[in-house]
Amino acid sequence: MEFSSRARLKHARLAGDRREQYPHSLQFYLEPPMESISLVEFESFAVDRLKLLKVIENLGVSHVRGTDVYKSKLESELRKLKFPYRALAEDDYEARRKDHISHFILRLAYCQSEDLRRWFLQQEMDLFRYRFNELTESLMQKFLEHANLSFEAIGEDLKNELANELSTSTPGFNLTKVKEQMFFKVGLADAVDLFRARKVFIKDGFAYVPFKEIDVIVLNNYRTKLSKALALTARSLPSIQSDERLQPLLNHLSHSYVGPDYSIQKNTGKISLEQIDALSVKSFPLCMRQLHRALRDSHHLRHGGRMQYGLFLKGIGLTLEQALEFWKKEFIRGKVDADKFDKGYAYSIRHSYGKEGRRTDYTPYSCMKIIMSNPPSQGDYHGCPFRHSDPELLKQKLQSYKIPPSGITQVLELVKGVHYQLACQKFFELTHDVDDIGFSLNHPNQYFTESQKLLNGGRELKKEFNNSGNFQQKNNSQESTNSSSTPTSSNAKADTELEGLEAYFTED
Amino acid sequence: MAPFEPAALPELLPVFYRRLFPHGPYGRWLSYGGVKNYFQLREFSFTLRDDVYLRFQSFSSPQELERELQKINPYKIDIGAVYSHRPNQHNTVHLGAFQPQEKELVFDIDMTDYDDVRSCCSSADICSKCWTLMTIAVRIIDRALVEDLGVRHRLWVYSGRRGVHCWVCDDAVRKWSPALRAAAVEYLSLVKGGADTVKKVNLSHPVHPFIRHSVNVVEKYFEEYALRGQDILGSPEKWDKVLALIPEDILPCQGRAKDSVQRWELLRARLERTRGRPAAQGPCYADWEVMLQFCFPRLDINVSKGLNHLLKSPFSVHPKTGRVSVPLDLQRLDQFDPFAVPTITSLCQELDTANSDGEQEDGGATEPKRRTRDYKKTSLAPYVRVFEQFVEGMESARRGERIRRSDLQGDF
């Protein structure tokens, strides 16, 4: 029997000694996992890690990295999602395995564009930094040896020879301290920041770094390795994407939103049309408030706006009948006559409620989808204002909503840092007068639900105007039976319009 | 020797590129042992008469480069980076795919950057007095390159008018990222600040070995260059500039001193006594700071940082002075005299004198051989020899590396 090291490891695992495969809770993810897993596990691992990385992103902006608050929040998330959180935990095998596999799956999803790569790299770096700094000194040294980073610790003789140089080049290190601490010989490229500022002794193209500074070096090394690996993965992606089981999953992950999709309306019929104006000011996120305002002002919205806003309204509980009435009333005040509305626009509204064509019940757009796809052009009002509006105009808008200047500055800072959802969270905090939004914003309907919860003292959405709502529903249902017959009429122009509409309804 | 006239260039350049330019070693240098298309992917740029500028020139072989040089006779040659695709085809490449991949690490030290501390000349002028600044710069940087950065193959070149260039050619260094190059320049920088800053060098305790080594170099030249040559303490307006750099509580009385040398002694002694001060005040390094401000090299980070930066090629002719950009012999650095560097005019005259049997321009099998030996008859010869030694140094290192690697693999 041939015993290659990999076979040996497998053998060891079968034999029950699983610790050999993952001797440390931390790793550099140099070797991809070599085993079979089910598609279910594949997806659940990936989704969990994505959740973790998003938490890390949020924490990184709301708290200073390395503070106790940051650390405790991150640790609790790691435990919740069953990732390794403590270096010495004995029974960590499952968590470490999950960590290993999920990292590599996300590489596949996040290597595909410059933006995705940058995001993934940033969050993985923060995760690594946290876990590395949680190690004790001795564990750190063990890890460094194991990781085979070619950072050699220099021997005592060499250290004594260089003692003077080391103490004059390394800030905070007098001769005594030099004798006490370990020094590592590291390539110049790994110690760029220390080398450029002359904060380290260099000789023959190597920097002699004290143990105290090694974490920065390790991190830089990790970043370089991961960055290269991502570029390499991107190049081999076509062959992976040809696997039909994986392709939709991977595409979905990188645009994914990992929360409730608001497709099953728990609040159907609880909102009346009269409430919408008030709600748009109190509880709509800025994107929807903007769309609503534009609709009221111009009595029209283009396709992108109709989709984004229409599905949102569906998500907050508007029934099909209410939606038809809402849009028709508005459009009629514009240039559209009732007939044209019934023939064209009504069809597409019913389509988005799953009552026509493919009969897919379309889900309201998540923030990720709004930010990343279908950017608005001139005459459009959809999109994410934090992403798509000119910062000056955004500022003016916030001023018109009486947001205090300090708040506006904070929002604009987040926008500048490309943290659009966090900017929206800050907007929530400012308009609801709370310090901490208390949740991680990923979806406009989530914004609405949470806002309503807050304003109604945590209770469920109030059931108002039930009677009139029912009455309206009855009316609308009659209307809809009438209008449902129109698409079948052989009107050539209507047919082509409908054909064109079908093309819009591709789910991604 | 007749003086150089720029108007004569169109006549002289063809002779230069046929008989004087060292095409052989030049091609061997840039081929780097025939590595993966290296030569073919290299960008050259030519400047023609009337400032016509041709970028993204590339050639399939050193022989083709030679033929083109002899056909085009450019006023100036610049060397750029090794790109991802042949530079002369860059327009056919999808935008964004055409990227610089590797390049030598280069430094450009220009005398104009020292105008605030030299009193003999300014801007494009140089003289034998201020040339010492270049000597000091080469010594300091070269020591750091070799001892600190671990570099082996570097070529120092006279720029042709008022400065020096350095080409660092080690395999690993050619692959350095812009960030690493910028870091190297920062490591080598001590003089900071522009026209608004009076005190440009500030040292704190403890002093990094790089600074100490640099001060050691400056000390060897300081008395001759700064105190006698520039006479920096020779008159009230001059010593005011120096005193502006020294903390007030240390100013010595100058009654007894009669010239720069003596005054400096007083100042120096005073400052050295402060080295033993208690930790709170800290040792004062003002004397080192003065020496460094007047003598330490000033680098232009933009030249060194970018991979796509174009720098004047060695053995290119300077269109304004006619001088050839010749390599510096580090063994004879102190004797280098920029005014003794041959001009294209003087070289052509030397050729005329050497060929008493008359020059035949028609082709023939023996012609190329005669031509390649022609520079040896002129005062360009010693400079070409320095260049050849540099190229041979790299070639033997490559051979050594190949042997080492095949030993490791157990090949024969």
Contact across the interface for A192 and B207, Cβ inside 8 Å: no
User: Do A416 and A394 contact (CB within 8 A), yes or no?
Assistant: no
pLDDT at A237 over 80: no
First-to-last C-alpha distance (Å) of chain A: 50
How close does chain A come to B145, measured CA to CA in Å? 9
pLDDT in tens, A241-280: 677 777 777 777 776 655 565 665 556 667 888 899 999 9
Give whole-number Cα distances, B63 to A62, A230, B39, B66, B240, in Å: 62, 41, 11, 5, 58
Q: Which residues of B touch A (CB under 8 A)?
A: 147-151, 172, 176-177, 179-180, 182-184, 186-187, 206-212
What pLDDT, on a 0 to 100 scale, did the predictor assign at position B341?
96
| H/E segment holding residue B187 | helix B178-187
Laid out side by side, the sheet with A206-210 consists of A152-153, A183-187, A206-210, A201-203
Residue in A192, A201, A206 closest to B183 by CB = A192
- What does the radius of gyration of chain B's CA atoms come to, in whole angstroms? 24
Contacts of B209 in chain A (CB under 8 A): 165, 168-169, 201
What pLDDT, on a 0 to 100 scale, did the predictor assign at position A378?
83
What pLDDT, on a 0 to 100 scale, did the predictor assign at position B372?
58
Mean pLDDT of B356-370: 49
| Disruptive mutation site among B99, B105, B149, B304 for chain A (greatest number of A CBs within 10 Å) | B149
What pLDDT, on a 0 to 100 scale, did the predictor assign at position B298?
94
pLDDT at B42 over 90: yes
What pLDDT, on a 0 to 100 scale, did the predictor assign at position A297?
93
Catalytic amino acids of B? 43, 108, 110
| Residue A335 structure tokens | 């240039």
pLDDT class of B48 with cuts at 50, 70, 90: very high
Task: Answer yes or no: pTM beyond 0.90.
Answer: no
Contact across the interface for A167 and B182, Cβ inside 8 Å: no
| Residue A224 structure tokens | 């370089």
Contact across the interface for A197 and B186, Cβ inside 8 Å: yes
Contacts of A168 in chain B (CB under 8 A): 206-209, 212
Sign of the alpha-carbon dihedral angle for A412, A414, A419, A423: negative
| Residue A101 structure tokens | 């596999």
Task: Supply the angle between the helices A214-235 and A114-133 in degrees, to the nearest 10.
Answer: 150
CB neighbour list of residue A410: distance below 8 Å, 6 or more residues apart? A426
SS3 A208: strand
Contacts of B202 in chain A (CB under 8 A): none
What pLDDT, on a 0 to 100 scale, did the predictor assign at position A114?
78
pLDDT in tens, A276-324: 999 999 999 999 999 999 999 999 999 999 999 999 999 998 888 999 9
Which 8-state DSSP code applies to residue B105?
E
pLDDT at B286 over 50: yes
CA nearest to B152 within chain A: A204
Residue in B151, B177, B187 closest to A198 by CB = B187
Contact across the interface for B176 and A189, Cβ inside 8 Å: yes
pLDDT in tens, A362-402: 788 988 889 888 888 888 999 999 999 988 999 999 999 88
pLDDT in tens, A49-81: 988 998 888 887 777 887 888 888 888 888 888
| Residue A293 structure tokens | 């305002």
Contact across the interface for B180 and A192, Cβ inside 8 Å: yes
| Disruptive mutation site among B84, B145, B171, B187 for chain A (greatest number of A CBs within 10 Å) | B187
Contact across the interface for B208 and A192, Cβ inside 8 Å: no
Most confident of A108-112, A461-465, B395-399: B395-399
Contacts of A197 in chain B (CB under 8 A): 186
- In 3D space, the residue among A190, A189, A63 whose CA is nearest the CA of residue A126 turns out to be A63
pLDDT at A498 over 60: no
What pLDDT, on a 0 to 100 scale, did the predictor assign at position A490?
36
Q: Could you tell me which residue, A264 or A442, shows the higher pLDDT?
A: A442
Report ipTM (2 d.p.). 0.89
pLDDT at A6 over 60: no
Which 8-state DSSP code applies to residue A344?
I
Contacts of B208 in chain A (CB under 8 A): 168-169, 198
> Which spans in A81-213 are helix H?
93-110, 114-133, 137-147, 156-161, 163-169, 175-180, 192-196
Contacts of A196 in chain B (CB under 8 A): 182-184, 186-187
User: Do B384 and B25 contact (CB within 8 A), yes or no?
Assistant: yes
Contacts of A204 in chain B (CB under 8 A): 147-148, 150
Q: From CA A350, how far away is CA A361, in angstroms rounded? A: 10
pLDDT at A463 over 50: no
How close does chain B come to A224, measured CA to CA in Å? 12
Query: Residue B190, Cα to own-chain centre: how many angstroms?
Result: 18
How close does chain A come to B204, measured CA to CA in Å? 11
What pLDDT, on a 0 to 100 scale, did the predictor assign at position B288?
92
What percentage of residues in chain A have a pLDDT greater than 70?
A: 80
What percentage of residues in chain B have a pLDDT greater than 70?
A: 91
Mean pLDDT of B234-250: 82
What pLDDT, on a 0 to 100 scale, did the predictor assign at position A505?
36
CA nearest to A170 within chain B: B208
| Residue A436 structure tokens | 């901490």
Contact across the interface for B147 and A203, Cβ inside 8 Å: yes
pLDDT in tens, A166-178: 999 998 898 898 8
Contact across the interface for B150 and A189, Cβ inside 8 Å: no
Q: Could you tell me which residue, B381 or A480, shows the higher pLDDT?
A: B381
Mean pLDDT of B381-394: 96
Longest dimension (CA), chain B: 80
Q: From CA B263, how far away is CA B287, in angstroms rounded? A: 12
Phi, psi of A292 (to 5 degrees): -60, -45
Mean pLDDT of B220-232: 89
Contact across the interface for A188 and B209, Cβ inside 8 Å: no
Most confident of A6-10, A480-484, B259-263, B293-297: B293-297
CB neighbour list of residue A301: distance below 8 Å, 6 or more residues apart? A291, A294, A295, A309, A381, A382
Q: Could you tell me which residue, A142 or B157, shows the higher pLDDT?
A: B157
What pLDDT, on a 0 to 100 scale, did the predictor assign at position A477?
36
Contact across the interface for A196 and B151, Cβ inside 8 Å: no
pLDDT at B36 over 90: no
Mean pLDDT of B258-276: 81
Mean pLDDT of B223-237: 87
| Disruptive mutation site among A164, A169, A173 for chain B (greatest number of B CBs within 10 Å) | A169
- What does the radius of gyration of chain A's CA atoms come to, in whole angstroms? 29
Laid out side by side, the sheet with B105-110 consists of B105-110, B163-168, B154-158
- In 3D space, the residue among A397, A109, A134, A454 whose CA is nearest the CA of residue A247 turns out to be A109
What pLDDT, on a 0 to 100 scale, did the predictor assign at position A64?
80
pLDDT in tens, B105-139: 999 999 999 988 888 888 888 988 899 999 999 99
| Disruptive mutation site among B84, B145, B147, B148 for chain A (greatest number of A CBs within 10 Å) | B148
How close does chain A come to B186, measured CA to CA in Å? 5
SS3 A185: strand
pLDDT at A15 over 60: no
> HSE of A106 in the Cβ direction (CA atoms, 13 Å)?
28
